[in-house]
Structure 1
Amino acid sequence: MSSADVDRRRWIALAIVMVASFMDLVDVTIVNIAIPSIQADTGASFSAVQWVTGGYSLAFAVGLITGGRLGDIHGRRRVFLVGIGGFTLASALCGFASGPEMLVAMRVLQGGTAALMVPQVLSIIHATFPAEERGKVFGMFGAVVGLGAVSGPMIGALLTEWDLFGLAWRPIFLINLPVGIAGLLLGRRFIDESKAEKALKLDLVGMVLASLGLLMLIYPLTHGREAGWPLWGYLSMGGSAVVFALFVAYEKAKTRRDGSPLVELSLFRVKSFAAGIAVQTAFGIGLGIFFLVWTLYMQIGLGWSPLKAGATGLPFSLAVSTAAGLSVQKLVPRFGRKVLQAGALVMVAGVLVYIAEANRYGADIAPWQMALPLVVMGLGMGLVVAPITDAVLAEVPREHAGSASGLINTVQQVGNALGLGLVSVAFFGQVDDVVAPEAVGAAFNGAFVHAMWWVAAVLAGVFLLMFALPRRKAVVAWEAETSVAEQRESALV
């Protein structure tokens, strides 16, 4: 094969994995804007609505580390193709779901298959391109991430608004079919196989314990309010602490036995990493609460169309993209940790402005009146999401960089799932089960303000936790993909 053919193959392979990442990212953001339409069409309860988004995040979080490990063992190309094939099938089943129960189950399947697909993307790029070209390649990847973050809500709004073939919200999932099938066929032809030289073994017991602990914690948070906060809910949440303790004990034993645990516990001896994990978890909780509540507030509480709600979010997305580029290129090299802390405080300021606007205008608030708090929040988020991975990894030993980066992405998704579960308390707990139509606006406005105080409190906690991060980025030779991977996960919301 000539050098020109090799060069063409690798760029086609890059396009395939980037499209797959774009599809996954858009599929997360696209769903938020369509949730009210899904609820109206299927009669889904509020807890089912939470699981439509939370189920995906939870399955994705639990499977990320295992998905990466499977690629190392069985081949990244092979696992990528299984992932994109499963993701496409799950998308079709979501689109044809007969009710909320099937939709939630298929969203969990989607999250699980995305956890097989997404970790292979950066590994395939790493194996396909030499070090001197990766900077340009990851720059292109970052642009795809930004495009997905901005376009997802608008694509979802347009597909829902157009009601193609009378299918209402279903095209937001069915749109993945031609893209996924093309990616599967082209991937088989153009992506070269690669494996880790010395692959670790799968930690199935660790994966089961982690999944069980998370489920025991998040399920009662999501369903507890509708069930009247029964005793089993408190027992389940308390029992999750026991399961997590067993998980830690098993991981220690697994490390001593064969050196292949699901989570490298020695990383937590690094103060900045342990603090960074707490930062990422808390940040995910805050964003998980905000984005679901924000969508319900605009479309159900204020009665806005999906297109109007999607367009209202554009200033936020553009502000995130602008501040993210500025923080990495100009601010962090000069000011270090202070940039991230400033971002958290700016986000708190934006939340407080939003609370003031919602209190002042009530159900009569207009999109242009939301623009200021959304831009402020977006600028703050941009200052945090782009540089946070490098800050957290700065003091981590180089040989553990891959494991640490995967864990960072995982805990943010876990935080997001926890935040979606807490919506029951922060938002739905303030809305009566039966609200007169004329009182919906006022009820949802009050619940939105209450939930935003929760978001402000979580972000204030993030600011305090950031004091444990390194003041300046250490001079270490991380590969560029660690930063890009975190930007991708942060943009999911």
Structure 2
Amino acid sequence: MTSQHPDRRRWFALAVVMTASLMDLVDVTIVNIAMPSIQQETGASFSALQWISAGYALAFAVGLITGGRLGDIYGRRRLFLLGIGGFTVASALCGLATGPDMLVAARVLQGAAGALMVPQVLSIIHAGFPAEERGKVFGLFGAMVGLGAVTGPLLGALLTEWDVAGLGWRPIFLVNLPVGVAGLVLGRIFIDESKAPQALRLDLVGMLLATAGLLMVLYPLTRGRELGWPLWGYALMAGGPVVLALFVRYERAKSRRDGSPLVELSLFRVRSFAAGIGVQLGHGTVCGVFFLVWTLYMQLGLGWSPLKSGLTGLPFSLAVSTAAGLSVQKLVPRFGRGVLRAGAVVMAAGSLLYLALAEWLGTGITPWQMALPLAVMGAGMGLIVAPLTDAVLSEVPREHAGSASGLINTVNQLGVALGLGLTSVLFFNVVDDAGPAGIADGRAFADAFGSSMWWVAGGLVLVFVLMGALPRHRPQPAADAAGAAAEPVRKDGEPALIG
């Protein structure tokens, strides 16, 4: 084996896991752009549309912590391949769905499979690359987020407009099949297996408590409007934090007893990790609100086609990609935490500019008039997404990479699910209040969009405040002795190339 061979295999493996992560990112944005088409063909209600996104986010959020720990215990390569296989099968079921109920069920399955696949991506990056290379890798990761933001809406719009083989919106899911199969084949070739260096056991009680606590908060929030906000929903939401508090107590006891908790609570003693988790939650909530209401505003409120809506989002997507690529490698080493805080300010400014233009121009607004505020919002988001991941993981020990990445993704998806649930209050309540006349001429959706954007801007102000708890600058990596001690190994005793 030549000296370059490990590096070459490592970067090939990185390409495989990033492609799988891109598939997940594209899938979310593709679904958003096709929502009105799904509604027209299937007769789905507003609640069903909400559940097509929220069902995925809920399953994803509640499964991510367990998915990350399963990778630590049973092998990250194994769980990655199992997740991408399940995601591919679920995508096929989404494409073959005969109605809204089947589509929602398939989306829940897709989210559960994604919860097995996605945590392994950050675990593989964190465990497979030394600290001095992670800035470059997370810069690539941020650029990939931007690529997903560009590709998803356009691909979804084109596939929906083209009506491939008379299938309407279905190809937005079926397009995952060749990507998923390729990921399975190439993953088996290039990714070497790795696990946590010490023996761990699956924490079933912790898994049940965490899942129950999250569902008790998120399920009634998402279905509350549809069911008329019943009393039991409020009771569940009040009981959710109690169950999560029991989960924390149990995890502390289990950590003392056998050292195999589902969540490594010692991670929260790492300031960068604890602060970053709070920022992830706030930013995820903002994104959950914005992306769904934005799509519904353009297509149902302004009457635009999926392709026109997708092209309108290009300035946003290109700005995200450009800013994300620059932020980690060029800006963060010089300005540190200030880059993330600037991102929150810029994104909030863009949202307020968008709000002002939407209210001034009404339903006569054009894509060109949206370009500037969208570009400003995208640049702000790009300054946040890539540096934030690096900031949260910067001081995490390698042996806890799976647990940490599972928590990062869980909190982000928890935020997205909260945002989707809040659309019931912030968006659909305004639409309902406008009555049939407002819905018919699009004014109801424009008003609901304006109401939601105030909350988006307010959420970004809160994110800015929380970012004040992040370290001013990224900690300098210590000599890699500790990392080497925790380096994953293959069955033959050689260091794993990745994973």
Q: Who is 1:74 aligned against?
A: 74
Q: Who is 2:436 aligned against?
A: 435
- CA separation of 1:13 and 1:324: change in aligned 2, threshold 3 A: closer
Could you say what secondary structure the match of 2:90 adopts? helix
**How do residues 364-403 of structure 1 correspond to structure 2 at under 5 angstroms?**
364-393=364-393, 400=400, 403=403
The whole-number CA distance in structure 2 between the counterparts of 1:332 and 1:188 is: 35
Q: Who is 1:232 aligned against?
A: 232
1:459 matched to 2:460: yes
- CA separation of 1:456 and 1:126: change in aligned 2, threshold 3 A: closer
Q: Who is 1:351 aligned against?
A: 351
The whole-number CA distance in structure 1 between the counterparts of 2:293 and 2:155 is: 20
Q: 8 Å contact 1:72–1:199 — kept in the other structure?
A: no
Q: Residue type matched to 1:369 in 2?
A: Q
In the TM superposition, what is the alpha-carbon distance from 1:331 to its structure 2 partner? 2.6
Which whole-Å deviations, capped at 9, do the CAs of 1:301-339 have from their partners, x for residues lacking one?
111111100111110011112222332233322222222
The whole-number CA distance in structure 1 between the counterparts of 2:150 and 2:21 is: 14
Which whole-Å deviations, capped at 9, do the CAs of 1:329-360 have from their partners, x for residues lacking one?
33322222222222111111111111111111
Q: Who is 2:63 aligned against?
A: 63
Normalized against structure 1, the TM-score is what?
A: 0.89
Q: Residue type matched to 2:391 in 1?
A: A
Of the structure 1 ranges 193-202 and 348-357, higher mean CA displacement relative to structure 2 is found in 193-202
Q: Who is 2:88 aligned against?
A: 88
Which whole-Å deviations, capped at 9, do the CAs of 1:275-303 have from their partners, x for residues lacking one?
32221101110110000000000011111
Which whole-Å deviations, capped at 9, do the CAs of 1:336-387 have from their partners, x for residues lacking one?
2222222111111111111111111111110011111111111111121121
Q: Who is 1:475 aligned against?
A: 476
Q: Residue type matched to 1:386 in 2?
A: A
In the TM superposition, what is the alpha-carbon distance from 1:399 to its structure 2 partner? 6.0
Q: 8 Å contact 2:57–2:413 — kept in the other structure?
A: yes
Could you say what secondary structure the match of 2:468 adopts? helix
Q: 8 Å contact 1:394–1:470 — kept in the other structure?
A: no
The whole-number CA distance in structure 1 between the counterparts of 2:325 and 2:299 is: 31
Q: Residue type matched to 2:344 in 1?
A: A
In the TM superposition, what is the alpha-carbon distance from 1:60 to its structure 2 partner? 1.8
Could you say what secondary structure the match of 2:432 adopts? coil
The whole-number CA distance in structure 2 between the counterparts of 1:353 and 1:120 is: 38
Q: Residue type matched to 1:245 in 2?
A: A
Q: Who is 2:208 aligned against?
A: 208
Structure 1 alignment gaps of length 5 or more: 480-493
- CA separation of 1:146 and 1:302: change in aligned 2, threshold 3 A: same
Which whole-Å deviations, capped at 9, do the CAs of 1:227-259 have from their partners, x for residues lacking one?
222211111111112211221121112111111
Q: 8 Å contact 1:401–1:478 — kept in the other structure?
A: no
**How do residues 40-439 of structure 1 correspond to structure 2 at under 5 angstroms?**
40-124=40-124, 143-393=143-393, 400=400, 403-432=403-432, 434-436=435-437, 439=440
In the TM superposition, what is the alpha-carbon distance from 1:396 to its structure 2 partner? 5.5
The whole-number CA distance in structure 2 between the counterparts of 1:469 and 1:127 is: 23
- CA separation of 1:437 and 1:431: change in aligned 2, threshold 3 A: closer
Which whole-Å deviations, capped at 9, do the CAs of 1:154-185 have from their partners, x for residues lacking one?
10110011111211111111111222223334
- CA separation of 1:267 and 1:124: change in aligned 2, threshold 3 A: closer
Q: Residue type matched to 1:53 in 2?
A: S
Alignment root-mean-square deviation, CA? 2.8
Of the structure 1 ranges 470-479 and 128-137, higher mean CA displacement relative to structure 2 is found in 128-137
The whole-number CA distance in structure 2 between the counterparts of 1:478 and 1:59 is: 39
Of the structure 1 ranges 340-349 and 150-159, higher mean CA displacement relative to structure 2 is found in 340-349
The whole-number CA distance in structure 2 between the counterparts of 1:232 and 1:478 is: 54
Which whole-Å deviations, capped at 9, do the CAs of 1:467-488 have from their partners, x for residues lacking one?
2222222223599xxxxxxxxx
The count of corresponding residues between Structure 1 and Structure 2 is: 479
The whole-number CA distance in structure 1 between the counterparts of 2:308 and 2:41 is: 19
Of the structure 1 ranges 154-163 and 68-77, higher mean CA displacement relative to structure 2 is found in 68-77
- CA separation of 1:450 and 1:405: change in aligned 2, threshold 3 A: same
Q: 8 Å contact 1:389–1:405 — kept in the other structure?
A: no
- CA separation of 1:332 and 1:200: change in aligned 2, threshold 3 A: same
Could you say what secondary structure the match of 1:44 adopts? coil
Q: 8 Å contact 1:84–1:117 — kept in the other structure?
A: yes
In the TM superposition, what is the alpha-carbon distance from 1:193 to its structure 2 partner? 3.1
- CA separation of 1:353 and 1:100: change in aligned 2, threshold 3 A: same
In the TM superposition, what is the alpha-carbon distance from 1:30 to its structure 2 partner? 1.2
Could you say what secondary structure the match of 2:196 adopts? coil
Of the structure 1 ranges 182-191 and 194-203, higher mean CA displacement relative to structure 2 is found in 182-191
The whole-number CA distance in structure 1 between the counterparts of 2:34 and 2:2 is: 48
Q: 8 Å contact 2:84–2:113 — kept in the other structure?
A: yes
- CA separation of 1:280 and 1:122: change in aligned 2, threshold 3 A: closer
The whole-number CA distance in structure 1 between the counterparts of 2:276 and 2:132 is: 29
Q: 8 Å contact 1:67–1:117 — kept in the other structure?
A: yes
The whole-number CA distance in structure 1 between the counterparts of 2:438 and 2:270 is: 54
Q: Residue type matched to 1:432 in 2?
A: D
Q: 8 Å contact 2:65–2:407 — kept in the other structure?
A: yes
Normalized against structure 2, the TM-score is what?
A: 0.88
Q: Which one has more relative contact order, counting CA pairs under 8 Å at least 6 apart?
A: 2
Which whole-Å deviations, capped at 9, do the CAs of 1:4-55 have from their partners, x for residues lacking one?
9988866654544343222222112211111111122112222221221122
Of the structure 1 ranges 284-293 and 405-414, higher mean CA displacement relative to structure 2 is found in 405-414
Structure 2 alignment gaps of length 5 or more: 481-499
Q: 8 Å contact 2:86–2:113 — kept in the other structure?
A: yes
Q: 8 Å contact 1:33–1:306 — kept in the other structure?
A: yes
- CA separation of 1:28 and 1:409: change in aligned 2, threshold 3 A: same
Q: Who is 1:490 aligned against?
A: none
In the TM superposition, what is the alpha-carbon distance from 1:206 to its structure 2 partner? 1.5
Which whole-Å deviations, capped at 9, do the CAs of 1:74-106 have from their partners, x for residues lacking one?
233322222121111101111111111111111
The whole-number CA distance in structure 1 between the counterparts of 2:124 and 2:368 is: 43
- CA separation of 1:329 and 1:58: change in aligned 2, threshold 3 A: same
